[in-house]
Structure 1
């Protein structure tokens, strides 16, 4: 995907399409988080809406959707979730910028974006995990890696980062692949509502 002749990536256009996109993206995130929590999957799947909103509406819209999801989830399910609004906002900004600058084209581009989104989540979330959870993530699979790392006398910071990496990197790969599948399936008439000032080259 590549955009040309567009406004700044930081420009905002709260048209009807964007106003509909925000609650839809938040809902997708929320359902993904609940789904994973019920099934105890080794992923998060709570940023599909964030990344889709970032690709369609830009980094600020992606950040708004991601942060809003965690705030709502925190108010209704788990209060600590609210602090991770920072992570979701970071993911939305990174994915929105990568999309704007045409970094999604091809499988390699998607892998690169998945890695970048995963790393920004690790960078932001690891200190939060240490502050609020002693370094764990609450994901069974990641926390097993955390326990193993501590048993090898690794520092808590390293163990916590590994905990995040083992979950976030594959998660963001799946999320980005899902988002691009959704994006490529959307009609051009709908895409034009979000990218009226952009020329889009769809993925092959």
Structure 2
């Protein structure tokens, strides 16, 4: 299969239509897992990132948005607001994968950092608009309270709140995705959009 010159080009093949609900399910399970165990991370975007690597940034964004709407309608309405964050995450990881930055651990770390920053930049204004700057994550909100106590501006405290959770979360998620990706059978990978990441995995 020839590599498309447009990273946002995608095809709704049978394989892609199967991938989308599978990615949403992976996200959903990760989110529930974290909620039950009260972990300091989100882990709700593994399916988004894996889908983005397999089928491109558009499919990754679709999975992210669908995940947040589904979780928002069934468990936590707050999640719906952050559909934009998961979309930005899918696009970021999809673009990095398309340009071959998910071949090795070093590239995955850079991808995770960029994905984390993208999530922070989208989520921080939402946190300020809807929740006074907090994230609802215990660890992040402790940093938020500490930052305000030090006299930091509200926006900066909110930024730090999101940063201390999203950055490590996206690093962990992207590294998990890289590990999963490397162990997927090549016959499965060949069903999706061809890119340098797929071609480089042995």
Counterpart CA distance in 1 for 2:83 and 2:77 is 11
Q: TM-score, normalised by structure 2?
A: 0.95
Task: Give the match for residue 54 of structure 1.
Answer: 52
- For the aligned residues, what is the CA RMSD? 1.5
- Structure 2: 5+ residue stretches without partners: none
User: Are residue 170 (structure 1) and residue 168 (structure 2) matched?
Assistant: yes
Aligned residues: 201
Task: Give the match for residue 140 of structure 1.
Answer: 138
Q: Which runs of 4+ in 1 moved over 6 A?
A: none
Q: TM-score, normalised by structure 1?
A: 0.94
Task: Give the match for residue 68 of structure 1.
Answer: 66
Answer yes or no: is the 8 Å Cα contact 1:184–1:202 preserved in 2.
no
Kindly provide the CA deviation profile for residues 61-120 of structure 1, in whole angstroms up to 9, marking residues without a partner as x: 000000000001111111121110000000000100110011122222111000000000
1:134 deviates by: 0.6
Aligned partner (choices 185, 189, 192) of residue 183 of structure 2: 185
Answer yes or no: is the 8 Å Cα contact 2:62–2:87 preserved in 1.
yes
Answer yes or no: is the 8 Å Cα contact 2:98–2:195 preserved in 1.
no
Q: Secondary structure at the match of 1:99?
A: helix
Task: Give the match for residue 154 of structure 2.
Answer: 156
Counterpart CA distance in 2 for 1:66 and 1:88 is 5
Counterpart CA distance in 2 for 1:38 and 1:133 is 22
Counterpart CA distance in 1 for 2:195 and 2:54 is 11
After superposition, the Cα gap between the structure-2 partners of 1:97 and 1:88, relative to the gap in structure 1 and judged at 3 Å, is same
Answer yes or no: is the 8 Å Cα contact 2:100–2:195 preserved in 1.
no
1:201 deviates by: 3.4
Q: Secondary structure at the match of 1:41?
A: coil
1:198 deviates by: 4.3
- Structure 1: 5+ residue stretches without partners: none
- Counterparts of 1:43-122 in structure 2, within 5 Å, are 43-122=41-120
